[in-house]
Every structure is written in structure tokens, then in C-alpha cells.
Amino acid sequence: MGCRILHDREQDLAVLYCSTSDVAFGPVFTDGDNGQAADERAEAFLRWLQIDPRRCDESELQAFYSKWFAQEEAQYKRENPETCYDCGEPVGTCDDDCPSKAKEAT
């Protein structure tokens, strides 16, 4: 018995639940930008958390989730940098010949 993941495959949503009390709790996980399914994201959160989430109150669990989500988002952006529409280079690294640079100057 412990913390489990309940996954709705049709809508790709997942929640944590206590298998002892059969009560769901915490955030609702959705599919990620990187193609991860909701249950995979919930599993990643539990690995990151490294404690039994049932010991956390709702505000503490939400704070942990927010911190994890921010780290996940930052990692995704590092691995998938936004590219310039005009030249295809990562945003902020365009050279002087890029049409976007000319647009910024005007």
C-alpha cells in the first residue's frame, strides 16, 4: 500500500492517490511538451520528490510541484531552444544579417 498513480488514458490526465484510503490528492498531471504522457510525468515528479507525498499538506505539495514544474520547463527550454522565425537560429543568437535584427533596429 502506498502512493499510486491513477491515469485516464483517454484524456491523458493523471493524479496521485493513496491506495490505503483510496483518496486522490495533489496536482493533476497532463501530457508534457516533450511528448511525455501524464502518468510518466507523475512518475517523474515522484522520483524527483523522493519522499512520500502523503506526508505533505496540500500547500507544501503544491510548492514542491511548482518547483519541479519550473525545473522541468527550464530543462525543456534548454534542450529545445526557441528558434528565430527568420533565420532558424536559436533566439538571441542571430547574426547581423538576420532580418529580425533589422526589424528590431527600426
pLDDT (tens, 9 = 90+) of the chain, 106 residues, equals 699 999 999 999 999 999 999 999 999 999 876 778 999 999 999 999 999 999 999 999 999 999 999 998 888 878 877 777 777 777 777 777 777 765 665 5
Q: Per the structure block, which three cell numbers stand in for 21?
A: 484510503
In this prediction, residue 33 carries a pLDDT of 67
Q: In this structure, are residues 64 and 56 in contact, taking their beta carbons and an 8 Å threshold?
A: yes
Q: How far is CA 97 from the centre of its chain?
A: 35
Q: What is the 3-state secondary structure (H, E, C) of the chain?
A: CCEEEEEECCCCEEEEEECCCCEEEEEEEECCCCCCCHHHHHHHHHHHHCCCHHHCCHHHHHHHHHHHHHHHHHHHHHHCCCECCCCCCECCCCCCCCHHHHHHHC
Of 31, 27, 33, 24, residue with least CA distance to 10: 31
Q: Per the structure block, which three cell numbers stand in for 34?
A: 516533450
